[in-house]
Amino acid sequence: MVGLVISLGVAYLAKVIVTSVLRLQRGFANLGFCPGRNCLWFNPSGAAALLLGKSFPPRGWQGHYNGRFSLYAKEGSTILSSLLVWSATPVFWLADAEAIKTVTSDRHAFIKDLSIYEPVDIYGKSLVSTEGAEWRRHLAIAAPAFSDANYALTWKETLRVVHEWFSDEVDVNEVSGKIDVKAKMKQATLHVIAAAGFGMSTPWAAFQHLARAPDIMREVSTAGSIFPFHTSLDLTIKRLLPQILVPRFLFALPFRVPWISEQLETVKLAFTSLEVHMSELAKAARRDGVNQVEHDDGDDLGVGADLLRRLVQANDAAKASDPSIKKTLTDGELFINMTTVIPACRAWFKKKLREETMRVWPTLDDLDSSTFKRDFDKLEYTLAFFHETLRCLPAETRLLKLCDSDTILYGTRFVPGSVIREPESSFDGAHTNVQFMRDETSEKKFPVTVPKGSNIMLDFWAVQMNPLTWGPDVHIFRPERFIDTDVYKWPRDGFLAFSGGARGCIGKRFASVESVCLLASLVRRYEVLPVEDARKFASQEEFKRHMLTWSAGLTIGPMNVFVKLRRLDNV
């Protein structure tokens, strides 16, 4: 009897092994002749990739979070292939601007993996987590809210926030103390989102003491109430990753676990509180009525330009025009669209920024009276600076698409015109930056057969560091590459910091307006000084690596950005 059980066990194990080997063989056959043919041990867009970040896969492996264009250069191809081992799913990696444009332009053949976005549906479906007719329904309501009136409000609120920050904290001394740029930019962004997003204009100090969240949690729990608006907004952004990754059953445990239960209760109450606040704001918007007069000239803003109000009123107007058709959004769906508009701003400060802001605002009175309509388009170099920052350090480095039908994509095989090497100097000193001369005579288009069911990885960071698209100085921080001239047009299809195609980020201009206004108004008033002494480091490249260290999560973010501000002699 024991011998029979062992024999059956061995037979079953042999069957599993043979089946797995055959499945892997078929999987590798589906990769065709596409270069790469590497193994992937987990979904590069899944939770494991977010948690492991820069640690695994290690440098030199397919899927390394910070790989940039290095592996593509080694293989001499702008499209690479790999196989997800556990499911034998083909994964094609794209660092080719034309191939990515093909994918982002065809919403029928290439669709989102909606299962990845299910945890983000905190209040309901959104533009991020829908496809097809459902996505078009969301877009029809959400898109009109992003208008010049809202951008003008964003500009106005950013100027106010920066002025209050300087008055409260910076202008006390000629040279400021150590400033955590990440924390202050986040605080400024929260203010702008609160005002331009939700119509809640709050003083600078409102977001200053949010580290007290556990204490506030105990106070709120005792009172049986909810978090204040500014606290709930901050915590929903700060605790978004736990909300997405933690299994639902842990939020409903019948017993308490030290520390963990308190953290999960904070997350749950933060999202509940924000929903309550947004419900009240939505009711207020409806009371104001859909026929409220708005000033869209961008100079004299009345009430009603914030995104939430415009979303609610556009939604109700659509519902009134045809109540029999389910083309409008629930309040929950409106709210989740708001939480996806979270712009980021990181930058090095250059002399040309100061020169441009002095030209646009010769005096501080000119700055104080600035409007979006009058000044945004004049800050060409500042916008280019913002774009170059996002090219070098994109917030989102990759995006997964599913291939819904057999298709063919075209990549480029190339032979570098010089030895591929790590540059002696680069914008951040990363070891994965590559430098080589382009030999256009060696470049040849080649077809890649993509079977239905394959994963398509749009490798944003790689295409933005592709010398074939951006030139041999791709590793250098040079904002001028984003300024058109009579003989040069910058490669729009190769810039994917806000994704591309019809499904590109709807908040792109919102983020650009806020970031340009904040950056320009800052460098107009102050000289930015490093806190760290570069002489303490073995080389300039090591200093850059230290200053621009980043962490991985839902997006990548800086870790060691500390500066001092010296007040300039202003006119």
What does the pLDDT read at residue 321?
A: 63
What does the pLDDT read at residue 342?
A: 27
Q: Which residue has the higher pLDDT, 470 or 122?
A: 470
Q: Residue 548's CB: how many other CB atoms inside 10 A? A: 19
What does the pLDDT read at residue 476?
A: 93
CA distance 113 to 124: 17
> 169-226 pLDDT, tens per residue?
776 666 667 888 888 888 888 888 888 888 888 888 777 655 454 455 455 544 457 8
Q: Quick one: what percent of the chain has pLDDT higher than 70?
A: 86
Query: What's the chain's average pLDDT?
Result: 83
What does the pLDDT read at residue 101?
A: 96
Confidence of residue 372 (pLDDT cuts 50, 70, 90): very high
Give the residue from 81, 93, 84, 92 showing the smallest Cα distance to 24: 84
Mean pLDDT calculated for residue range 428-452: 93
- Report the range of poorest mean pLDDT among 325-329, 367-371, 376-380, 501-505: 325-329
Q: How does DSSP classify residue 39? A: E
Q: Which H or E run contains 518?
A: helix 508-525
What does the pLDDT read at residue 174?
A: 65
Mean pLDDT calculated for residue range 150-164: 92
Q: What is the DSSP track for 172-192?
A: TSSB---EEHHHHHHHHHHHH
What does the pLDDT read at residue 344?
A: 28
Q: Residue 482's CB: how many other CB atoms inside 10 A? A: 20
Class of domain 141-393+506-567: mainly alpha
What does the pLDDT read at residue 373?
A: 95
Q: Is 142 helix (H, G, I), strand (E, B) or coil?
A: helix
Confidence of residue 290 (pLDDT cuts 50, 70, 90): very low
Q: Which CATH number fits domain 31-111+397-465: 3.20.20.70, 3.90.550.10, 3.30.43.20, 3.10.20.30?
A: 3.30.43.20
CA distance 359 to 524: 10
What does the pLDDT read at residue 340?
A: 34
Q: Is the peptide bond before 254 cis (omega within 30 degrees of 0)?
A: no
What does the pLDDT read at residue 357?
A: 95
Q: Is the peptide bond before 416 cis (omega within 30 degrees of 0)?
A: no
What does the pLDDT read at residue 301?
A: 46
Residue 142 has pLDDT above 70, yes or no: yes
What does the pLDDT read at residue 374?
A: 97
What does the pLDDT read at residue 319?
A: 65
Residue 341 has pLDDT above 60, yes or no: no
> 446-486 pLDDT, tens per residue?
999 999 999 999 999 999 999 999 999 999 999 999 999 99
> 87-117 pLDDT, tens per residue?
999 999 999 999 999 999 998 899 988 877 7
What does the pLDDT read at residue 338?
A: 45
Q: Quick one: what percent of the chain has pLDDT higher than 90?
A: 37
What does the pLDDT read at residue 143?
A: 84
Using only the alpha carbons of the chain, give its radius of gyration. 26
Q: Which residue has the higher pLDDT, 291 or 229?
A: 229
Domain ranges for the chain: 31-111+397-465, 141-393+506-567
3-state DSSP of 277-295: HHHHHHHHHHHHCCCCCCC
What does the pLDDT read at residue 141?
A: 82
Confidence of residue 287 (pLDDT cuts 50, 70, 90): confident
Is the four-CA dihedral 63, 107, 469, 418 of positive or negative sign?
positive
